[in-house]
Structure 1
């Protein structure tokens, strides 16, 4: 069996670019993005791709071309967005530890909003904005204390987590922010975790945040946008993930007549099922209890299985001669990975195989609508 990304075989890509190699389908990225825009169309949302999910410049550039905004957590990610043609005015600056230099850089660039996560951060952004003679658009990330029912390492919405301002403290934090002369409150934000496979925690978080929006309005603090973050899960094996249309319907029902701009920050659900990691088997080491497959990709290239003890699908793609593609065709996004050889536990396989680890068992044969690969940033 020969496996393909769109109409290009993985073995051809491995032969051409070497391994380890990340390969992403442009068509799959487009369809995933459209899934959000179409499901939430009635709410006219701003979809902000979470750059932390994959910061490759070609991927950022593609989402920018689709009209995406961006969710960033550092000055470095902002630099990547701008380098790839992203719009600072559609960029949300999240993250718990923004430095003064990063805040200044983002203010000068004109980001849409800072998602603030603590009282000290409120004071820091006020200080930098005052020094620059600017007004910083801000939102508070509120921790709704909702159990996302996901892996504890990626659960961020409980009161024990480091992220956000506690729900019970949020009103006082908004009051404090409203008194800062160089801050303009424009929104409210929450993000309860990643790889969420149940719709109910997302809906519950939305409900709790909207109660706070109404309470703030009673005090004259007007919220312009509702940022529900990301976190929608994807299929790695046999997960049942939330249906985007059902999610959109539930959010629309709860927003009701409130005049709120909806912002979403998907990451994994846009790129996770769009790519694969190609790695070459170097040799097989036979052990007393099991065999070890030595490959040229390492844990730094695919950390998730080791970090979360998570399932990740692996396929054997037999190496076959692949004729050159016609001049009118081009390869998907290809990004060489740099690493030393490591081990992978698996039954013995021929040492001449090409392997890839991918979220989806069978990559779809998308039409050949990709653009040439670009070199990754150094």
Structure 2
């Protein structure tokens, strides 16, 4: 569900025509729908009503401060993987007690800052990390709450780059030996073992991998209890997919129905780390056609956006629906074309041999479902300033991140 629709022949975000944003802010630009974002937060939260739980938004999906403030206003915390994401979460007003810190490479200064402000817990990925957390916590005179991230060797059935729960992945500690790691952590003087964490991948479109992983984690919780280690938190991560094309991902309600009976008697507070499912369909990437051309039998539509702005198609071969801002253009048939950007790479594309509207130079094009892993993965490759971000609320909008200038590109550099 999202609030992007054609009204009076023009594609709108809520009550604002995208052509107005393009004219006033320029292109390329990310456009977010606040109404969609709020609705998605509430649907996810309501799905787990009656179950003790905390929802921690995966900041890596979209770290814009206005997006984070909107999510915080809906009673949702943060799942972070860096000191920078911790800084952003705090800046957005997220309660430290609703922040969980994941990631395989936490550094001492990042751990110290998280301990100083009192986050909910660290999701620990190795015994070496436990030792560093112990040392930092001891130096600060604090006790660090931790969960151990368990790798259950469950295939999430998603793209290899975003699969995280298999034996060959870098994440977590293998289920086979994790009991020893729990006992080790339990014996540390400045570490408190409070939970278990399991995240098997992103863009999951089937409930069964969640269920398979949760059954394994359930047994681990029971086994630990027999050894005197009683966990308070069961963090099942995130990864629930969205519809980009023909996928039929489960809803939060379906996920809740599937996992409720598995965890009902464990006495653990559940933690969820949704990212894409909250923001993915709440944003689009708006770009303008510069040229059209043909090379031999291949037609190309060249737009002002590029792989540095939206990397997912080049990186993952990901699909984004492509719509014209002018509804009439979409009724004039289709043309088989590659949609490409100005970057000097053959890999700079948004679609290959896709049937799209017969776009012409000057036309506006919307790449849908771009609210997750869009701007957060952008770069300045080819010395391209990063684009603006806009938040629409009803019939008004605000620029929530200004477009970078050429001066911004060199602001931190020194000539020698």
Q: By how many angstroms is 1:259 displaced?
A: 1.1
Which structure has greater strand proportion?
2
Residues 166/294 of structure 1: CA separation in 2 closer, same or farther (3 Å cut)? same
Within the candidate set 263, 269, 281, 1:255 is matched to: 263
Number of the residue aligned with 2:376? none
SS at match of 2:214: helix
Number of the residue aligned with 1:107? 115
Contact 2:81–2:103 under 8 Å retained in 1 = yes
Within the candidate set 338, 344, 369, 1:359 is matched to: 369
Q: By how many angstroms is 1:283 displaced?
A: 1.3
SS at match of 1:177: helix
Q: By how many angstroms is 1:41 displaced?
A: 0.5
Q: Counterparts of 1:375 and 1:299 in 2: how far apart (Å)? A: 19
Within the candidate set 281, 289, 299, 1:291 is matched to: 299
Q: By how many angstroms is 1:45 displaced?
A: 1.7
SS at match of 1:15: helix
Number of the residue aligned with 1:211? 219
Aligned residues: 355
Task: Please give the residue correspondences for 1:210-249 in structure 2 after superposition, counting only pairs within 5 Å.
Answer: 210-249=218-257
Contact 1:11–1:319 under 8 Å retained in 2 = no
Within the candidate set 184, 209, 218, 1:201 is matched to: 209
Is the counterpart of residue 349 in structure 1 residue 359 in structure 2?
A: yes
Within the candidate set 117, 124, 128, 2:132 is matched to: 124
Q: Counterparts of 2:369 and 2:90 in 1: how far apart (Å)? A: 29
Number of the residue aligned with 1:323? none
Q: Counterparts of 2:271 and 2:293 in 1: how far apart (Å)? A: 50
Contact 2:33–2:393 under 8 Å retained in 1 = no
Residues 369/178 of structure 1: CA separation in 2 closer, same or farther (3 Å cut)? farther
SS at match of 1:197: coil
Q: Counterparts of 2:327 and 2:245 in 1: how far apart (Å)? A: 25
Is the counterpart of residue 149 in structure 1 residue 175 in structure 2?
A: no
Q: Counterparts of 1:207 and 1:246 in 2: how far apart (Å)? A: 17
Residues 269/298 of structure 1: CA separation in 2 closer, same or farther (3 Å cut)? same
Is the counterpart of residue 181 in structure 1 residue 207 in structure 2?
A: no
CA offsets per residue over residues 68-126 of structure 1, 9 Å max, x none?
11000000000001111111111000000001111111111211100000010011111
Q: Counterparts of 1:144 and 1:354 in 2: how far apart (Å)? A: 45
SS at match of 1:251: helix
TM-score, normalised relative to structure 2: 0.81
Number of the residue aligned with 1:374? 400
Contact 2:147–2:197 under 8 Å retained in 1 = yes
Q: Counterparts of 2:403 and 2:77 in 1: how far apart (Å)? A: 21
Residues 157/43 of structure 1: CA separation in 2 closer, same or farther (3 Å cut)? same
Residues 373/65 of structure 1: CA separation in 2 closer, same or farther (3 Å cut)? farther
Q: Counterparts of 2:403 and 2:273 in 1: how far apart (Å)? A: 24
Residues 311/44 of structure 1: CA separation in 2 closer, same or farther (3 Å cut)? same
Residues 67/356 of structure 1: CA separation in 2 closer, same or farther (3 Å cut)? same
Q: Counterparts of 2:218 and 2:148 in 1: how far apart (Å)? A: 13
Give ranges in structure 2 of 5+ residues lacking alignment.
1-8, 329-341, 371-391, 405-416
Q: Counterparts of 1:80 and 1:172 in 2: how far apart (Å)? A: 35
Q: By how many angstroms is 1:9 displaced?
A: 0.8
Contact 2:194–2:231 under 8 Å retained in 1 = yes
> Quick one: higher RCO (CA 8 Å, sep 6+), 1 or 2?
1
Q: By how many angstroms is 1:370 displaced?
A: 6.5
Number of the residue aligned with 2:373? none
Give ranges in structure 1 of 5+ residues lacking alignment.
321-338, 361-365
Contact 1:296–1:340 under 8 Å retained in 2 = no
Task: Please give the residue correspondences for 1:51-66 in structure 2 after superposition, counting only pairs within 5 Å.
Answer: 51-66=59-74
CA offsets per residue over residues 135-162 of structure 1, 9 Å max, x none?
1111001011111111111111111110
Within the candidate set 78, 89, 93, 1:85 is matched to: 93
Q: Counterparts of 1:132 and 1:102 in 2: how far apart (Å)? A: 13
Q: By how many angstroms is 1:340 displaced?
A: 6.3
SS at match of 2:401: coil
Q: Counterparts of 2:127 and 2:35 in 1: how far apart (Å)? A: 42
